[in-house]
Amino acid sequence: MTDDEVIRHYHAHGECEQFHSEIKTDMDVERLPSGKFDTNELVLELTILAYNILRMIGQETIGRRKTRHKVKRRRLRTVISNLIMMASHVTTHARQLVIGLGKSNVWRYTFSEVYTAFADFSL
């Protein structure tokens, strides 16, 4: 292998380690809950499903907020704390559900854009 190929593989390995770290720490799957293989398999499948959804949300937010430096990806902890755990107020008005996100939340426009991007309005 050439020097450039070795360096590229080394960086790819480091990125892979970051993904494993996010699954273990940010999603709290450091230890599997059961001694039974089938139960742990189900937990891992649900974890990967949630992980992929959170990664899709994180990738959708890139470029929607002005940042000091170019962002390539968002960590799961950022997606969870800023978009999933966002405080809101849901009310019913004129037979419609309305989500109030608050005026002081800097992520409200990003949340609205991501929601619109993923929402299925054909129901």
In a domain, 78, yes or no: yes
Rg of the chain, C-alpha, whole Å: 19
* pLDDT value of position 50: 93
Give residue 119's pLDDT: 83
117 belongs to a structural domain: no
Residue range 39-58: mean pLDDT, rounded = 93
Buried/exposed 78-117: b ≥16 CB within 10 Å, e otherwise: bbbebbeebeeeeeeeeeeeeeebeeeeebbebbeebeee
pLDDT digits (tens, 9 = 90+) for 71-108: 777 888 989 988 899 988 999 999 998 889 888 888 88
User: Within a domain: residue 106?
Assistant: no
pLDDT digits (tens, 9 = 90+) for 15-29: 788 888 888 888 888
The three-point CA angle 89-114-60 to 5° equals: 145
Q: How many domains does the chain have?
A: 1
For residue 61, being part of any structural domain is answered with: yes
Per-residue pLDDT band for 68 (boundaries 50, 70, 90) equals low
- Cβ partners under 8 Å of residue 92, min gap 6: 98
Q: Mean pLDDT for the chain?
A: 86
Per the structure, the complete domain to which residue 77 belongs is given by 3-85
Q: Within a domain: residue 7?
A: yes
- Quick check: is 101 in a domain? no
